[in-house]
Structure 1
Amino acid sequence: MQTEPYIQPMQSPELFSTICIVGPTGAGKTHLAMSLAEYAKSIGLTVELISMDSALVYRGLDIGSAKPTKAEQAAVIHHLIDILDPTEVYSAARFAKDAKRLCEEIRMRGNIPIVVGGTMLYWRAWAHGLSSLPPANPEIRVRLEERAKEIGWPAMHERLAQVDSVTASRLKPNDSQRVQRALEVYEITGKPMSSLLAESPSEDGREGSAIPPWIHLVSLEPSDRARLHLNLEKRFDVMLSGGLIEEVELLKKNIGLHADLPAIRSVGYRQVWEYLDGQIDREQMRYKALAATRQLGKRQLTWLRAIAGRNTFDPFNPDELKAALDYCKQNLK
Structure 2
Amino acid sequence: MSDSRPLAIFLMGPTAAGKTDAAIALHERLGCELISVDSAMVYRGMDIGSAKPSALELKRAPHRLIDIRDPASPYSAADFRQDALNEMRQISAAGKVPLLVGGTMLYFKQLVEGVGNLPAASAKIRAWLGQRWQEEGLCALHRALAEVDPDAGQRIHPNDPQRILRALEVYYASGRPMSELWAEQEVLPFPWRVVSLALAPAHREILHQRIAQRFALMLEEGLIDEVATLKQREDLHLGLPAMRSVGYRQVWEYLDGEMDRAALLERGVIATRQLAKRQLTWLRRWKDLRWVDSQQADALDNVLKLVRESGA
Per-residue Cα deviation, 1:29-83 (whole angstroms, up to 9, x for no partner): 111111112212xxxxx33210001111111111111111111101112111111
Contact 1:58 1:83 (C-alpha < 8 Å) held by counterparts: yes
TM-score under structure 1 length normalisation: 0.83
Per-residue Cα deviation, 1:286-325 (whole angstroms, up to 9, x for no partner): 1111111111111111111111211111111224542222
Percent of residue pairs bearing the same amino acid type: 46
Q: Specify the alignment match of 1:38 in structure 2.
A: 28
Q: Indicate whether 1:77 and 2:62 are aligned.
A: yes
Q: Deviation at 1:213? A: 6.1
Q: Specify the alignment match of 1:120 in structure 2.
A: 105
Q: Specify the alignment match of 1:300 in structure 2.
A: 279
Q: Indicate whether 1:29 and 2:24 are aligned.
A: no
Q: Specify the alignment match of 1:244 in structure 2.
A: 223
Q: Specify the alignment match of 1:227 in structure 2.
A: 206
Alpha-carbon distance change, 290 to 331 in structure 1, aligned in 2, over 3 angstroms: same
Which structure 1 residue ranges, 5 or more long, are not aligned?
1-12, 41-45, 204-209
Contact 1:223 1:314 (C-alpha < 8 Å) held by counterparts: yes
Alpha-carbon distance change, 187 to 258 in structure 1, aligned in 2, over 3 angstroms: closer
Q: Secondary structure at the match of 1:279?
A: coil
Q: Specify the alignment match of 1:101 in structure 2.
A: 86
Larger deviation, residues 66-75 vs 181-190: 181-190
Mapped to 1, the partners of 2:108 and 2:49 lie a distance apart of: 22
Q: Specify the alignment match of 2:42 in structure 1.
A: 57
Q: Secondary structure at the match of 1:312?
A: strand
Which structure 2 residue ranges, 5 or more long, are not aligned?
none
Alpha-carbon distance change, 171 to 216 in structure 1, aligned in 2, over 3 angstroms: closer
Mapped to 1, the partners of 2:93 and 2:232 lie a distance apart of: 42
Larger deviation, residues 245-254 vs 164-173: 164-173
Letter in 1 for 2:224: I
Q: CA RMSD in A?
A: 2.7
Larger deviation, residues 284-293 vs 106-115: 106-115
Q: Specify the alignment match of 2:303 in structure 1.
A: 324
Alpha-carbon distance change, 312 to 211 in structure 1, aligned in 2, over 3 angstroms: farther
Q: Specify the alignment match of 1:5 in structure 2.
A: none
Q: Secondary structure at the match of 1:25?
A: coil
Mapped to 2, the partners of 1:201 and 1:231 lie a distance apart of: 41
Larger deviation, residues 263-272 vs 190-199: 190-199
Larger deviation, residues 179-188 vs 291-300: 179-188
Contact 2:200 2:292 (C-alpha < 8 Å) held by counterparts: yes
Larger deviation, residues 17-26 vs 155-164: 155-164
Mapped to 2, the partners of 1:145 and 1:228 lie a distance apart of: 30
Q: Secondary structure at the match of 2:83?
A: helix
Contact 2:128 2:239 (C-alpha < 8 Å) held by counterparts: no
Question: What pairs up with 1:304-315 in 2 under 5 angstroms?
Answer: 304-315=283-294
Q: Secondary structure at the match of 2:244?
A: coil
Q: Indicate whether 1:193 and 2:183 are aligned.
A: no
Letter in 1 for 2:222: G
TM-score under structure 2 length normalisation: 0.88
